[in-house]
Amino acid sequence: MIGTVGRRIFGVRDRVLPGPVAPGDVLAETKGLRVRLGGAEVLKGVDVRAHAGEVLALVGPNGAGKSTLLAALAADLPAHGGTVSVCGRVATDWPPRELALRRAVLPQSATLSFPFPVEDVVRMGRAPWAGTRLADDDDRIVREAMAATEVGAFAARPFSALSGGERARVALARVLAQRAPLLLLDEPTAALDLRHQELVLRVCRERAAAGDAVVVVLHDLGLAAAYADRAVVLDGGVVAADGAPGDVFEDGLLSDVYRQPIEVFPHPRTGAPLVAPLRDA
Ligand SMILES: Nc1ncnc2c1ncn2[C@@H]1O[C@H](COP(=O)(O)OP(=O)(O)OP(=O)(O)O)[C@@H](O)[C@H]1O
Ligand SMILES: [Mg+2]
Protein backbone atom coordinates (compact mmCIF):
# COMPACT_ATOMS: atom_id res chain seq x y z
CA MET A 1 0.00 0.00 0.00
CA ILE A 2 1.44 3.34 -1.03
CA GLY A 3 1.77 6.05 1.53
CA THR A 4 1.55 3.77 4.50
CA VAL A 5 5.05 2.65 3.64
CA GLY A 6 7.85 5.12 3.98
CA ARG A 7 11.02 5.98 5.75
CA ARG A 8 11.35 7.91 8.97
CA ILE A 9 13.44 10.94 8.20
CA PHE A 10 16.44 11.31 10.45
CA GLY A 11 15.88 14.21 12.79
CA VAL A 12 12.34 14.90 11.51
CA ARG A 13 9.98 12.85 13.63
CA ASP A 14 6.72 14.31 12.37
CA ARG A 15 7.02 13.25 8.73
CA VAL A 16 7.41 10.06 6.75
CA LEU A 17 8.72 10.43 3.21
CA PRO A 18 6.46 9.14 0.44
CA GLY A 19 7.30 5.54 -0.40
CA PRO A 20 8.25 4.31 -3.86
CA VAL A 21 5.57 4.35 -6.53
CA ALA A 22 5.21 1.87 -9.41
CA PRO A 23 3.60 2.67 -12.78
CA GLY A 24 -0.11 2.03 -12.57
CA ASP A 25 -0.38 2.47 -8.79
CA VAL A 26 -3.54 4.35 -7.84
CA LEU A 27 -2.36 7.60 -6.23
CA ALA A 28 -5.79 9.16 -5.88
CA GLU A 29 -9.27 7.71 -6.06
CA THR A 30 -12.85 8.75 -5.44
CA LYS A 31 -15.67 6.28 -4.95
CA GLY A 32 -19.25 7.47 -5.07
CA LEU A 33 -18.02 10.97 -4.19
CA ARG A 34 -20.70 13.47 -3.30
CA VAL A 35 -19.89 17.09 -2.49
CA ARG A 36 -22.35 19.79 -1.45
CA LEU A 37 -21.60 23.47 -1.85
CA GLY A 38 -23.96 26.24 -0.79
CA GLY A 39 -26.80 23.76 -0.27
CA ALA A 40 -26.53 22.22 -3.73
CA GLU A 41 -25.07 18.84 -4.60
CA VAL A 42 -22.24 19.67 -6.99
CA LEU A 43 -20.76 16.17 -7.30
CA LYS A 44 -23.36 13.43 -7.41
CA GLY A 45 -21.50 10.14 -7.04
CA VAL A 46 -18.19 10.40 -8.88
CA ASP A 47 -15.75 7.51 -9.37
CA VAL A 48 -12.31 8.47 -10.70
CA ARG A 49 -8.81 7.10 -10.37
CA ALA A 50 -5.46 8.74 -11.00
CA HIS A 51 -2.64 6.31 -11.76
CA ALA A 52 1.11 6.78 -11.42
CA GLY A 53 2.64 7.29 -14.86
CA GLU A 54 -0.55 8.69 -16.38
CA VAL A 55 -1.87 12.08 -17.48
CA LEU A 56 -5.59 12.24 -16.74
CA ALA A 57 -7.50 15.13 -18.33
CA LEU A 58 -10.63 16.38 -16.57
CA VAL A 59 -12.89 18.10 -19.08
CA GLY A 60 -16.47 19.31 -19.21
CA PRO A 61 -18.48 22.51 -19.44
CA ASN A 62 -18.38 25.44 -17.02
CA GLY A 63 -19.95 24.44 -13.73
CA ALA A 64 -19.64 20.69 -14.38
CA GLY A 65 -17.70 20.19 -11.13
CA LYS A 66 -14.10 19.87 -12.37
CA SER A 67 -12.56 22.27 -9.83
CA THR A 68 -14.70 20.79 -7.07
CA LEU A 69 -13.46 17.30 -7.93
CA LEU A 70 -9.86 18.51 -8.01
CA ALA A 71 -10.29 20.21 -4.62
CA ALA A 72 -11.76 17.01 -3.18
CA LEU A 73 -8.83 14.97 -4.57
CA ALA A 74 -6.53 17.50 -2.93
CA ALA A 75 -8.32 16.98 0.42
CA ASP A 76 -9.16 20.68 0.38
CA LEU A 77 -12.91 19.96 0.37
CA PRO A 78 -14.75 17.41 2.50
CA ALA A 79 -16.85 14.62 0.97
CA HIS A 80 -20.51 14.68 1.86
CA GLY A 81 -20.81 11.09 0.71
CA GLY A 82 -18.50 8.44 -0.71
CA THR A 83 -14.74 8.39 -0.24
CA VAL A 84 -11.57 10.10 -1.43
CA SER A 85 -8.20 8.47 -0.96
CA VAL A 86 -4.73 9.80 -1.64
CA CYS A 87 -1.73 7.47 -1.71
CA GLY A 88 -3.73 4.66 -0.15
CA ARG A 89 -5.18 6.60 2.78
CA VAL A 90 -8.42 8.52 3.33
CA ALA A 91 -7.50 11.98 2.03
CA THR A 92 -8.64 13.91 5.11
CA ASP A 93 -6.73 11.56 7.44
CA TRP A 94 -3.35 12.79 6.20
CA PRO A 95 -1.64 15.27 8.50
CA PRO A 96 -1.20 18.47 6.43
CA ARG A 97 2.60 18.27 6.43
CA GLU A 98 2.54 14.72 5.08
CA LEU A 99 -0.17 15.52 2.54
CA ALA A 100 2.03 18.32 1.18
CA LEU A 101 4.77 15.78 0.42
CA ARG A 102 2.32 13.71 -1.61
CA ARG A 103 0.13 16.05 -3.59
CA ALA A 104 0.70 19.46 -5.14
CA VAL A 105 -2.18 21.67 -6.27
CA LEU A 106 -2.37 24.45 -8.83
CA PRO A 107 -5.69 26.22 -8.17
CA GLN A 108 -7.77 27.63 -11.02
CA SER A 109 -7.56 31.24 -9.92
CA ALA A 110 -4.09 31.68 -8.54
CA THR A 111 -4.83 34.84 -6.58
CA LEU A 112 -1.24 35.04 -5.44
CA SER A 113 0.03 38.59 -5.30
CA PHE A 114 3.39 38.00 -3.69
CA PRO A 115 5.62 41.08 -3.66
CA PHE A 116 8.61 38.67 -3.70
CA PRO A 117 11.05 37.86 -6.49
CA VAL A 118 9.95 35.05 -8.80
CA GLU A 119 12.69 32.71 -7.59
CA ASP A 120 11.52 33.08 -3.97
CA VAL A 121 7.93 32.29 -5.01
CA VAL A 122 9.08 29.10 -6.74
CA ARG A 123 11.19 28.23 -3.69
CA MET A 124 8.03 28.30 -1.53
CA GLY A 125 7.18 24.99 -3.19
CA ARG A 126 10.08 23.45 -1.28
CA ALA A 127 8.63 24.37 2.15
CA PRO A 128 7.21 20.88 2.88
CA TRP A 129 10.73 19.42 2.61
CA ALA A 130 12.33 21.83 5.10
CA GLY A 131 14.39 20.01 7.68
CA THR A 132 14.66 16.81 5.64
CA ARG A 133 17.86 15.72 3.99
CA LEU A 134 16.10 16.17 0.64
CA ALA A 135 16.17 19.91 1.31
CA ASP A 136 19.79 19.69 0.11
CA ASP A 137 18.34 19.41 -3.41
CA ASP A 138 16.27 22.60 -3.10
CA ASP A 139 18.50 24.77 -5.29
CA ARG A 140 18.67 22.24 -8.12
CA ILE A 141 14.94 21.49 -8.02
CA VAL A 142 14.01 25.20 -8.03
CA ARG A 143 16.33 25.76 -11.02
CA GLU A 144 14.80 22.80 -12.86
CA ALA A 145 11.23 23.93 -12.18
CA MET A 146 12.03 27.43 -13.47
CA ALA A 147 13.72 26.05 -16.57
CA ALA A 148 10.82 23.67 -17.32
CA THR A 149 8.34 26.55 -17.26
CA GLU A 150 10.68 29.07 -18.95
CA VAL A 151 10.57 31.62 -16.14
CA GLY A 152 14.33 31.84 -15.57
CA ALA A 153 14.57 35.07 -17.56
CA PHE A 154 12.59 36.93 -14.91
CA ALA A 155 13.80 35.05 -11.83
CA ALA A 156 14.81 38.23 -10.03
CA ARG A 157 11.74 40.32 -10.91
CA PRO A 158 8.87 40.81 -8.45
CA PHE A 159 6.10 38.28 -9.06
CA SER A 160 3.53 41.10 -8.83
CA ALA A 161 5.14 42.83 -11.86
CA LEU A 162 4.61 39.91 -14.25
CA SER A 163 2.00 39.45 -16.96
CA GLY A 164 -0.91 37.05 -16.39
CA GLY A 165 0.63 34.22 -18.41
CA GLU A 166 4.05 34.75 -16.82
CA ARG A 167 2.44 34.54 -13.36
CA ALA A 168 0.63 31.37 -14.33
CA ARG A 169 3.93 29.76 -15.34
CA VAL A 170 5.59 30.83 -12.08
CA ALA A 171 2.65 29.40 -10.12
CA LEU A 172 3.14 26.13 -11.99
CA ALA A 173 6.90 26.21 -11.33
CA ARG A 174 6.15 26.50 -7.62
CA VAL A 175 3.89 23.45 -7.81
CA LEU A 176 6.51 21.47 -9.78
CA ALA A 177 9.18 22.39 -7.22
CA GLN A 178 7.09 20.66 -4.57
CA ARG A 179 8.00 17.33 -6.24
CA ALA A 180 4.84 15.58 -5.04
CA PRO A 181 3.95 12.33 -6.82
CA LEU A 182 0.33 13.49 -7.34
CA LEU A 183 -0.06 16.69 -9.38
CA LEU A 184 -3.49 18.35 -9.46
CA LEU A 185 -3.55 21.18 -12.00
CA ASP A 186 -6.66 23.28 -12.58
CA GLU A 187 -6.55 24.90 -16.04
CA PRO A 188 -2.77 25.46 -16.08
CA THR A 189 -2.95 26.58 -19.72
CA ALA A 190 -5.87 29.04 -19.47
CA ALA A 191 -3.71 32.19 -19.60
CA LEU A 192 -0.97 30.83 -21.85
CA ASP A 193 0.00 31.43 -25.46
CA LEU A 194 0.19 28.52 -27.88
CA ARG A 195 3.87 27.77 -27.31
CA HIS A 196 3.50 27.73 -23.55
CA GLN A 197 0.34 25.63 -23.65
CA GLU A 198 2.35 22.99 -25.48
CA LEU A 199 5.25 23.45 -23.08
CA VAL A 200 3.03 22.89 -20.04
CA LEU A 201 1.43 19.75 -21.47
CA ARG A 202 4.88 18.42 -22.36
CA VAL A 203 5.89 19.02 -18.74
CA CYS A 204 2.80 17.06 -17.65
CA ARG A 205 3.92 14.18 -19.89
CA GLU A 206 7.47 14.36 -18.48
CA ARG A 207 6.17 14.20 -14.91
CA ALA A 208 4.03 11.19 -15.82
CA ALA A 209 7.02 9.53 -17.53
CA ALA A 210 8.96 10.09 -14.30
CA GLY A 211 6.23 8.19 -12.43
CA ASP A 212 3.89 10.92 -11.16
CA ALA A 213 0.12 10.88 -11.50
CA VAL A 214 -0.98 14.08 -13.25
CA VAL A 215 -4.60 15.24 -13.15
CA VAL A 216 -5.12 18.29 -15.33
CA VAL A 217 -8.29 20.28 -15.96
CA LEU A 218 -8.44 21.48 -19.56
CA HIS A 219 -10.98 23.26 -21.73
CA ASP A 220 -9.00 22.68 -24.92
CA LEU A 221 -10.09 19.22 -26.00
CA GLY A 222 -7.44 19.15 -28.73
CA LEU A 223 -4.75 19.54 -26.10
CA ALA A 224 -6.39 16.86 -23.98
CA ALA A 225 -6.56 14.51 -26.98
CA ALA A 226 -2.93 15.12 -27.88
CA TYR A 227 -1.40 14.76 -24.43
CA ALA A 228 -3.67 12.84 -22.04
CA ASP A 229 -3.65 9.07 -21.61
CA ARG A 230 -7.20 9.22 -20.35
CA ALA A 231 -10.01 11.75 -20.20
CA VAL A 232 -12.86 12.00 -17.71
CA VAL A 233 -15.77 14.04 -19.05
CA LEU A 234 -17.79 15.60 -16.23
CA ASP A 235 -21.28 16.93 -16.80
CA GLY A 236 -23.62 18.25 -14.11
CA GLY A 237 -21.63 16.60 -11.32
CA VAL A 238 -21.51 13.13 -12.84
CA VAL A 239 -18.99 11.31 -15.03
CA ALA A 240 -20.39 11.25 -18.56
CA ALA A 241 -17.42 9.30 -19.98
CA ASP A 242 -14.04 7.94 -18.88
CA GLY A 243 -11.52 6.47 -21.28
CA ALA A 244 -8.83 7.10 -23.88
CA PRO A 245 -9.46 10.46 -25.57
CA GLY A 246 -9.65 8.70 -28.94
CA ASP A 247 -12.61 6.67 -27.64
CA VAL A 248 -14.29 9.28 -25.48
CA PHE A 249 -14.11 12.32 -27.76
CA GLU A 250 -16.96 11.50 -30.06
CA ASP A 251 -19.31 13.96 -31.83
CA GLY A 252 -22.54 12.84 -30.17
CA LEU A 253 -21.28 12.67 -26.61
CA LEU A 254 -19.42 16.00 -26.77
CA SER A 255 -22.33 17.77 -28.51
CA ASP A 256 -24.67 16.55 -25.74
CA VAL A 257 -22.37 17.44 -22.89
CA TYR A 258 -21.44 20.91 -24.20
CA ARG A 259 -24.95 21.68 -25.59
CA GLN A 260 -23.15 22.76 -28.72
CA PRO A 261 -22.84 20.90 -32.03
CA ILE A 262 -19.27 19.61 -32.17
CA GLU A 263 -17.37 17.64 -34.77
CA VAL A 264 -14.39 15.40 -34.15
CA PHE A 265 -12.11 14.48 -37.02
CA PRO A 266 -8.67 12.94 -37.32
CA HIS A 267 -5.60 15.09 -37.81
CA PRO A 268 -4.57 14.57 -41.44
CA ARG A 269 -1.00 13.61 -40.51
CA THR A 270 -1.09 12.14 -36.98
CA GLY A 271 -4.65 10.85 -36.81
CA ALA A 272 -5.07 12.45 -33.34
CA PRO A 273 -8.66 13.61 -32.72
CA LEU A 274 -9.27 17.29 -33.49
CA VAL A 275 -12.31 18.80 -31.82
CA ALA A 276 -14.09 21.84 -33.24
CA PRO A 277 -17.51 23.47 -32.92
CA LEU A 278 -19.69 22.72 -35.92
CA ARG A 279 -19.99 25.98 -37.90
CA ASP A 280 -21.82 26.88 -41.05
CA ALA A 281 -19.52 27.01 -44.05
N1 LIG B 1 -18.95 27.87 -2.76
C2 LIG B 1 -19.93 27.51 -3.58
N3 LIG B 1 -21.22 27.61 -3.20
C4 LIG B 1 -22.22 27.24 -4.03
N5 LIG B 1 -22.03 26.71 -5.24
C6 LIG B 1 -20.77 26.57 -5.67
C7 LIG B 1 -19.66 26.96 -4.86
N8 LIG B 1 -18.53 26.70 -5.55
C9 LIG B 1 -18.91 26.18 -6.73
N10 LIG B 1 -20.26 26.11 -6.80
C11 LIG B 1 -21.05 25.59 -7.92
O12 LIG B 1 -20.65 24.25 -8.13
C13 LIG B 1 -20.69 23.96 -9.52
C14 LIG B 1 -19.36 23.34 -9.93
O15 LIG B 1 -18.36 24.31 -9.79
P16 LIG B 1 -16.88 24.04 -10.27
O17 LIG B 1 -16.07 25.23 -9.89
O18 LIG B 1 -16.43 22.73 -9.75
O19 LIG B 1 -17.08 23.95 -11.85
P20 LIG B 1 -16.00 23.75 -13.00
O21 LIG B 1 -16.35 22.51 -13.74
O22 LIG B 1 -14.63 23.85 -12.44
O23 LIG B 1 -16.30 24.99 -13.96
P24 LIG B 1 -15.33 26.00 -14.76
O25 LIG B 1 -15.04 25.34 -16.08
O26 LIG B 1 -16.16 27.22 -14.94
O27 LIG B 1 -14.10 26.26 -13.95
C28 LIG B 1 -21.04 25.25 -10.23
O29 LIG B 1 -22.39 25.22 -10.58
C30 LIG B 1 -20.76 26.31 -9.20
O31 LIG B 1 -21.62 27.42 -9.38
MG1 LIG C 1 -13.11 25.20 -12.61
Residues with CB in 5 Å of ion ligand 2: 66-67, 108
Residue pLDDT, tens place only, 39-83? 999 999 999 999 999 999 999 999 999 999 999 999 999 999 999
Contact 70, 215 (CB under 8 A): yes
Regarding the beta carbon of 96 and ligand 1, being less than 6 Å apart is answered no
Q: Say what the pLDDT of residue 177 is.
A: 98
> What is the count of structural domains for the chain?
1
Q: Is residue 164 included in any domain, yes or no?
A: no
Which ligand has an atom closest to residue 185 CA? Answer: 2
Regarding the beta carbon of 64 and ligand 1, being less than 6 Å apart is answered yes
% of the chain residues with pLDDT over 70: 94
Taking the CA of residue 70 as reference, the ligand 1 atom at the shortest distance is 18
**Which residues form the domain of 255?**
8-114+182-277
CATH number at residue 68: 3.40.50.300
Structure confidence at residue 1 as a pLDDT band (50, 70, 90): very low
Regarding the beta carbon of 90 and ligand 1, being less than 6 Å apart is answered no
Q: Is residue 152 included in any domain, yes or no?
A: no
Say if residue 10's pLDDT is above 80: no
Alpha helices in the chain (DSSP H): 66-73, 96-102, 118-123, 138-148, 164-177, 194-209, 221-227, 245-248, 251-258
Q: Say what the pLDDT of residue 159 is.
A: 93
Residue pLDDT, tens place only, 106-131? 999 766 677 899 999 999 999 999 98
Q: Is residue 144 included in any domain, yes or no?
A: no
